[in-house]
Chain A
Amino acid sequence: MANIKTSEKKTKSQAMGMHTEVLTGRTQQKFFNPDEAENFYYFGTYDVDFNKRTDLDVKDMTAAEANKKIDGLMSEGYGTIVIKNPQGKHSLGVGILNKLNLIFEGSLGYFGIGSCDGPIVRINGRVGWSCAENLMAGKVVIEKNAGSCFGAAIRGGDLICKGSVGARTGIDMKGGTIIIGGDAGAFTGFMMQRGRIIILGDVGINLGDSMYDGTIFVGGEIGSYGSDAVDAELTSSDQDWLRRKLKVAEIGANFDLSKMKKIVAGKKLWNYDNLEPTEKKGAI
């Protein structure tokens, strides 16, 4: 992370008056107490029980109504909710910041499971564009195929598609793990900044284009490498982690992990700092 030095001696750029933007985060030490009581849930979330199960038929509901109903069931303590007849509706199961076991018996449309933090979601069908966008934590399993922008901008959690996925999978991802059992489309890992993508099948052109950081593991053929995506050595630690993660994903039990290719950022694009915009302005 960017860090402004506090030394009194001015650097050239400081003398030029370029340090107007501060990129360091706000220190939160005054709020911190290491002896905090054991609490595993966010403030204001519901206390649910995984063993308390219910069904919800959303056939005649709009997405907003269905999402509100899911929230209502969580408030009643239901920890396992089975959604019947999702019928490809868009934006289902979004904004869940709770621990929950959510099962969809069918397929979802666009932007399903968006902005979630914590739930375990299983979808027994397919999903459309941008599934699990901005996922913060939790586990999402898709039994069939997924559309493009799968796991766009996720920051954490495990996102698993047992089938194949479209283009721009993991675009702009900032953490977490995306696991693909089949093939992935073009521009997979486009502009990824952190996190890991595992693809057991083939992948399209421009893999990891403009990636800043993070790791991509590919089991099959690679269409082409994107800008600044380079090969790296697959270590035994990587293989151990891959084995464990594929077990979590319930796929690739007999996959030969030694044949995996590891792709990382060449870091030639790593020249962003808080002076860059100012310098660019000066150059123009």
Chain B
Amino acid sequence: MAKKKVKKLAKVKEIKGQLGKKKETAREKMIGQSIGYRYDVNLLPDYSKITPFLKKYIEAMGWDDLNWLEDVHMGYEEDRPAVFCRNANGWVTIPSSIKLPNNQQDRDMIARELLVKFQMSPKHPLVDLKKAYLKF
């Protein structure tokens, strides 16, 4: 009888400092909630990773660099990649159709591009508010 080939399941290695994961502190375990940011908010952008869309945006605004987008990073909302929209005061989750690189600098550039698209979209939640409450 031929031996059955047993497929070996690849072990999922947990990488130290994996994106979006960090060791919980005793305090966090106790309260069941993360304290502070789950990504480096002070990470300076790597301009070699800038996307063509962001280049066009900077040029259109007349700025010299990413300006306010330097503070935009890809974070997490309920363990899903997301970017925080300060205008809507909420997390915008990244659609699962978008493949994200395992590199924070590249992910940040994608987050910046998607955030600009979201904020300038006529479907942005503030558009309705503006229509309803604009005074002058």
Is B114 in the interface zone, CB < 8 Å from A? yes
Task: Please give, as numbers and ranges, the residues of chain B lying within 8 Å of A215 by CB-CB distance.
Answer: 42
Q: What total of A-B pairs shows CB separation below 8 Å?
A: 179
Q: Which of A2-10, A86-94, A144-152, A179-187 contacts B (4 or more CB under 8 A)?
A: A2-10
User: Are A28 and B85 in contact (CB-based, < 8 A)?
Assistant: yes
Task: Please give, as numbers and ranges, the residues of chain B lying within 8 Å of A241 by CB-CB distance.
Answer: 44
Minimum CB–CB distance for A78 against chain B, Å: 14
Give the distance in Å from the alpha carbon of A40 to the alpha carbon of B86 in the complex.
17
Q: Give the residues from 216 to 275 in chain A that come closer than 8 angstroms, CB to CB, to chain B.
A: 237-238, 241, 244-245, 247-248, 264, 267, 270-275
Question: Interface 1/0s, chain B 15-30, versus A by CB < 8 A?
Answer: 0000000000001011
User: Are A26 and B88 in contact (CB-based, < 8 A)?
Assistant: yes
Partner of B120, one of A5, A13, A40, A213: A40
Question: Interface 1/0s, chain A 21-63, versus B by CB < 8 A?
Answer: 0001111110111101011111110000010000000000000
User: Are B33 and A120 in contact (CB-based, < 8 A)?
Assistant: no
User: Are A3 and B76 in contact (CB-based, < 8 A)?
Assistant: yes
Minimum CB–CB distance for B136 against chain A, Å: 8
User: Are B120 and A274 in contact (CB-based, < 8 A)?
Assistant: no
Is B6 in the interface zone, CB < 8 Å from A? no
Minimum CB–CB distance for B28 against chain A, Å: 8
User: Are A237 and B44 in contact (CB-based, < 8 A)?
Assistant: yes
Q: Taking A33-B123, A41-B120 as contacts, is the C-beta distance between A120 and B63 under 8 angstroms?
A: yes
Partner of B64, one of A3, A248, A267: A248
Greatest chain B CB density within 10 A among A28, A33, A137 is at: A28
Minimum CB–CB distance for B13 against chain A, Å: 23
User: Are A29 and B92 in contact (CB-based, < 8 A)?
Assistant: yes
Partner of A3, one of B34, B62, B124: B34
Q: Which of A107-115, A153-161, A163-171, A202-210 contacts B (4 or more CB under 8 A)?
A: A153-161
Q: Taking A40-B56, A158-B67 as contacts, is the C-beta distance between A26 and B89 under 8 angstroms?
A: yes
Give the distance in Å from the alpha carbon of A274 to the alpha carbon of B35 in the complex.
9
User: Are A42 and B120 in contact (CB-based, < 8 A)?
Assistant: yes
Partner of A28, one of B38, B76, B91, B127: B91
User: Are A40 and B78 in contact (CB-based, < 8 A)?
Assistant: no
Minimum CB–CB distance for B11 against chain A, Å: 24
Is A14 in the interface zone, CB < 8 Å from B? yes
Task: Please give, as numbers and ranges, the residues of chain B lying within 8 Å of A162 by CB-CB distance.
Answer: none
Is A214 in the interface zone, CB < 8 Å from B? yes
- List 12 additional A-B contacts (Cβ < 8 Å) besides A40-B120, A274-B33: A2-B34, A3-B33, A25-B77, A26-B91, A31-B118, A36-B121, A40-B57, A41-B60, A44-B130, A237-B44, A270-B35, A275-B31
- Going nearest first, the 4 A-B pairs with the smallest beta carbon separation are A156-B68, A11-B32, A137-B68, A26-B90
What are 18 pairs between A and B in contact, CB < 8 Å? A1-B34, A5-B33, A14-B32, A25-B77, A25-B84, A28-B90, A29-B95, A31-B124, A36-B121, A38-B53, A40-B60, A99-B62, A155-B86, A156-B68, A156-B71, A194-B42, A213-B41, A270-B36
